[in-house]
Amino acid sequence: MRFKPPFHHMKKVRSIDEEISHRILVLSSFIVVAFLVIFIRLFYIQVISHDSYVAKKDDYTSIYQYVNAPRGQIYDCKGRVLAATVVSHNIVYTSPKDMDQDDYKLYAQRIVSVFNVDENEFTESDKKQAYITYKSFLDPNDKEYAANNLLTKKERNEYKSGLWGTNAESKRTQILLKRIHKKQLNEMSTKDLKVCVIYQRMIQNASNGQENIILEDVSDNDVAYLVEHKSEFPGFDIDFGGWKREYPYGETLSDVLGSVSTSTQGLPSENADYYLQRGFQYNAEVGKSGLEYQYNDVLSGQAQISKITYDSSGLAKQTVTRSAVKGNDVYLSIDIDLQQQLDSTVKTVLTENGGTANRENFSTLFMSMMDPNNGSILAMSGYQMDLDSKKMTYFASGCYQSLINPGSSVKGATVYMGLSEGVISPGEVIVDQPMDIGGQTFGSYENHGPVNDIQALAVSSNVYMFNIAIRIGGDAYVEGQSLHINDVSDSLNKMRSYYSMFGLGNKTGIDAPGEVESYMGVGFKPGMLLNYAIGQMDMYTPIQMNTYVSTIANGGKLYKPSFMKSIREVNSDEVIETGGGVLKSVLPAKNASYLNRVQQGFRAVVAEGNASNALMNMDVQVAGKTGTAEVQQVWTTAVFVGYAPYNNPSVSFACVAPTSSVNDESVSSNICTENVVPEVLNKYFELYPAS
């Protein structure tokens, strides 16, 4: 008899079958949905977004060439070009495919033999790199191959073993560049040097297909020759859209304006990281120093971008994908007529007086001029002279990169501080006679007798300033007794805080690179306060001195000095940005009457003939303060800061002549008040007559 499973067992089997069928159905549905999603995605990529993805692929695998746009120009306040961008025809090179060392060397030799290659335009770095290339033409087994003989045995082993890691080549090159000197360079003939430099420029971007400038600013004859014989120079072409920087006024303002690298130089090594982060390529022509560096982003414009492809013969072709946009123009507050007069005066005075009797150490002279009402710099000059050869070096940037001893020229800040702190009262009289402080004598260069605050400035009384400093320290002068100042440091800090209200001791924020701050004298003896009160302790830049006197001239407003007057679109009068007029701080209005006392004192300096007869007799009323700072007790630095016209100032100035006289009974006259300032002020008021 056949066995028949019970009903409940048959029901269980059917449930299992149904469960399996359900799971198979779910799995099948999932697979169908997955394939449907994949199909839709493929359809989207291959049909709907085909062009987009092709473009992206093309973009990821293509090589792009960046060509600098013509640089914006720099003008003076009246629209005269100080830094010009002029057309330059350049020979450029884009490496064809499958070039080897022999090919590059062959065409480098051909370029040198046909075109004018001036080795005088090569930088020291060019020559050293060329030497490494010259040695790279040797057999790899040669001990001098690639100049590796200049490495120590340890360095060679580390280099070959890979201990230097991924930066091995860069490290090796940097070591070699430091060890290549004239002896090594003399191993190359002039022709070898030229060939190696051209070779180096050709291979610079060979791996990424970038175009390089091989020769800059070539002659019309060289242009014509290459155009006619282009088949003989595969990869070479003429860039008719090239440019170069020219400075029509030569030496004038040269270090302030700065310079621009060429395409063959590329990014300056010291600023390479900075420029790379800002999107510039290695061969970009950028500001290296001065205002060219300060305003590089404004002047550079937008580079042209081209896509590089290769034809069947391996030659590169370019398709422009983004056109170049010329950089914007920068207008300065500088008046070039005034600037040239200032340069001429400073240079002549230093040439005629430097190294002469009683001025044996006089080798540097600075002067800056600004509009005290907004901080705009009108002119700035400086020269240094080699006392042995009498060679002159332009150094206008020294006005913000050099520190000087201010001497008595800062006494205006001392008087303002004394009045503001209430340690002296307006018109208070102090007898100017030698002071006996603990057995030491302190005094002015001569005894002036009873003087008030205005007269103290007029005659430059040290004694008056000493009394202010002693009272600031919480003490009072008693003949023969030592000073008892509890906290010299705190008193000195208070004095410095007052001076800083006038811009002394702090960076001014001038829109130029390389500004230095100040030198703070160190000492905690009470006598330090006396020295500080007469400008014999801390050191400042000439431009800080100019901001100091400008703050006095304009009634208490401290402005940031500025070269930039405006930034404008190229070939347009539309102003993008304006400069000047950046107010940093204002002296308290409640102390305005105290500042007025200082102004009266500054006017008295000139009006009473304590500056020079030339200044006293000018048609325009001049106010100012002289300074004679002791330097190492052997020399004196002459200073004169001032402004004019007295009642409505339109110009302020600071003239500084470091170590311009001996410090004895043979001390020479203040060369700033006698020889420099009168001549320059006359030129200023010739250009801008006082109303």
| Catalytically annotated residues | 408
Within 8 A by CB and 6+ apart from 350, the residues are 362, 363, 364, 365, 383, 385, 392
CA 650 to mean position of chain CA atoms: 28
Q: What distance in Å separates the CA atoms of residue 591 and residue 246, rounded to the nearest whole number? A: 50
Closest CA to 524 of 501, 493, 482, 555: 493
Closest CA to 626 of 458, 503, 462, 469: 458
Strands (E), 374-486: 377-385, 392-394, 430-432, 435-437, 440-442, 449-451
Closest CA to 252 of 343, 374, 163, 334: 343
Closest CA to 675 of 314, 361, 298, 354: 354
Could you tell me if 296 and 83 are in contact, meaning their C-beta atoms sit under 8 angstroms apart? no
DSSP strand pairing (329-332 vs 74-75): parallel
Burial of 582 (0-12, 13-18, 19+ CB in 10 A): middle
Sign, CA dihedral 243-248-249-251, equals positive
Q: What is the token pair recorded at 290? A: 């001065």
Per-residue CA distances from 536 to 31, 182, 439, 617 (Å): 91, 46, 21, 30
Could you tell me if 535 and 405 are in contact, meaning their C-beta atoms sit under 8 angstroms apart? yes
Widest pairwise Cα distance in the chain: 151
Give the three-class secondary structure for 51. Answer: helix
